[in-house]
Chain A
């Protein structure tokens, strides 16, 4: 039908596979990792392990959705770690101060606010998203430290429903699936079936083409980063329920794995390409990989180095694969 198919070639076929069904090679990779883990430590893969893996992969996948959404436009959001931490911390303290119902909107407000600031910087001032989100992250941490001094006496509390959502499970199914399944469906629907999702892909692939079509890019950026902030905030609440000990570095260590999950899941850091289903598998892969590194007692330094290398290598390979033609 096309020249590409006639040429045959493994490279081209692999490329096709990646671009049309990115989930398939990812699932293969995931399976391979699980098998490897079972070989390293026989008997580790059991009901409880599966439930735990899913439980930890869920908030990671949510945090990674922020990266997928922003990366589709050619951006990135490095403030999500801080935003999630802020929401979690504010939640835990406000439960005692304002009650567990009112605490939710209070906890999510700063998340949306920081997201709006990001969107303003990226969309209107045209600051590179990486610099911008790094900066708001820094400011956010500063604010959180100040806030902490005000509420130091109140103590913190994790509401029961968050603990139930974060840690409970039914057979191999963690309760957090009740939040995640509708969330994932919503994100996938948004990307595939809404005008906003269409614009995210379009903006990342060819900003000029969107301008020509009458799209005002700053509006999209503003909405996008606000949404990313909101998702990060909700993820923070889930982490609170999962880990139950709010601290000033609750979610920060998950930032890098979230970026890596999106990149491994096939989201192009240059924009225009990526799916959320890929990112979900990416988050599962990252979670299994982390277990593996823990089991093998790989120190933190090597882990970071590995994550850095993975991000660079995967990006370079995707660039190679999609460059010519």
Chain B
């Protein structure tokens, strides 16, 4: 019961997702394995952006530069991979992941040493990273290695499952889950993860109980940078090139984080909720498309949902603060 209660938010999100999938099927009877695969692919960069944002928000901060970091890592990968062999490309991918972690760490480091609030530092860094991306690649270009491009495409053939079932497990989804699992679960279980939750929950109390606040904060931003780099690689993989102009991932990541049950202000939530939230937000778009709604109107609806979610999140955070104070 404890588990169910603690996961009630995620369960609720899954129910909404299931209902939306059913609705999609009702609107478009042809919707099946291929459609789901498309959904997973489209959701991939958003999911990584949301994961990155989530960990920073859990630590009590916010990172406005995630989309720009994705652009930097994406163009870096594209520029280096153009003409590189498949084997070299593996090293390039690893380098790009390290680059992302380093950029994130720099964000965190600047916040800690300048004592300027997170939101201002990462706003400035948003432009800095955007500039860096443009310096690396002035216009969309570069290339991607074949294995990277193939990574999110197709489904996973599992020997013990009939194809009609296994075709519903897109590689994109599996890739996402593996990446999150490799980074997040060990971290969450470690003492470091606890410290990240602790500084987000109450920086003052954490400091008094001996948590290394500054170090934990830098690490949280660094992990966010790592997730952003994964997002950047996925962008390069899906388009085959690198684009220096950041995509619409900033607001989407904040909305997914709020909808995913991570309270702005920190200390609560996880990565699973925001990722389910990303799928929900993407699916809304799919449904609107199937309903033949003007894509621009879809953008408006999407934006309105996101703003409404953030506004509701603001009200909830305000209530939470009141209760904490009482």
Q: Do the two shown chains form a genuine complex with each other?
A: yes
A126 contacts across to B, CB distance below 8 A: 314-315, 317-318
Known: A139-B307, A312-B124. A299 touches B297 (CB 8 A): no
Task: Please name the residue on chain B nearest to A313 by beta carbon.
Answer: B124
Overall SS of chain A's interface: helix
**Interchain CB contact under 8 A, B119 and A121:** no
**Interchain CB contact under 8 A, B114 and A312:** yes
B250 to chain A, nearest CB (A): 7
Question: Which one of A18-26, A140-148, A228-236 contacts B?
Answer: A140-148
B123 contacts across to A, CB distance below 8 A: 130, 311
Q: Report if B115 contacts A (CB, 8 A).
A: yes
**Interchain CB contact under 8 A, B128 and A308:** yes
In the complex, A308→B307 CA distance in Å?
Answer: 26
B135 contacts across to A, CB distance below 8 A: 299, 301-302, 305
B66 to chain A, nearest CB (A): 13
Known: A131-B254, A134-B251. A149 touches B296 (CB 8 A): yes
Interface magnitude class on chain A: 35 or more
In the complex, A296→B119 CA distance in Å?
Answer: 32
A225 to chain B, nearest CB (A): 14
Task: Please name the residue on chain A nearest to B121 by beta carbon.
Answer: A312
A211 contacts across to B, CB distance below 8 A: none
Known: A146-B297, A309-B128. A301 touches B138 (CB 8 A): yes
Q: Report if A138 contacts B (CB, 8 A).
A: yes
Which residue of the partner chain, among A134, A142, A306, contacts B296 with CB atoms under 8 Å?
A142
**Interchain CB contact under 8 A, A301 and B296:** no
Task: Please name the residue on chain A nearest to B137 by beta carbon.
Answer: A301
Q: Report if B244 contacts A (CB, 8 A).
A: yes
In the complex, A316→B254 CA distance in Å?
Answer: 25
Total contacts A-B at CB 8 Å? 131
Known: A132-B307, A135-B307. A121 touches B314 (CB 8 A): yes
Interface magnitude class on chain B: 35 or more
Q: Report if A315 contacts B (CB, 8 A).
A: yes
**Interchain CB contact under 8 A, A125 and B315:** yes
A35 contacts across to B, CB distance below 8 A: none
Q: Report if B126 contacts A (CB, 8 A).
A: yes
**Interchain CB contact under 8 A, B307 and A130:** no
B310 contacts across to A, CB distance below 8 A: 121, 127, 131-132, 135
**Interchain CB contact under 8 A, A309 and B124:** yes
Which residue of the partner chain, among A128, A145, A149, A256, contacts B119 with CB atoms under 8 Å?
A128
A323 contacts across to B, CB distance below 8 A: 115
Task: Please name the residue on chain B nearest to A317 by beta carbon.
Answer: B114
**Interchain CB contact under 8 A, A146 and B250:** no
Q: Report if A156 contacts B (CB, 8 A).
A: no
Give residues of chain A (223-282) contacting chain B, Cβ–Cβ below 8 Å: 256, 269-270
> 1/0 per position for B121-135, CB-CB distance to A under 8 A?
101111111111111
Q: Report if B64 contacts A (CB, 8 A).
A: yes
Task: Please name the residue on chain A nearest to B300 by beta carbon.
Answer: A142
**Interchain CB contact under 8 A, B131 and A142:** no
**Interchain CB contact under 8 A, B134 and A135:** no
> A residues engaging B (CB < 8 A)?
121, 125-128, 130-132, 134-136, 138-139, 141-143, 145-146, 149, 256, 269-270, 299-309, 311-312, 315-316, 319, 323
> B residues engaging A (CB < 8 A)?
62, 64, 110, 114-117, 119-121, 123-136, 138, 244, 248, 250-251, 254, 264, 294, 296-297, 299-300, 302-304, 306-307, 310-315, 317-318
Enumerate 10 A-B pairs (CB-CB under 8 Å) in ascending A order: A125-B318, A127-B314, A131-B251, A139-B307, A146-B296, A301-B135, A308-B130, A312-B125, A319-B114, A319-B116
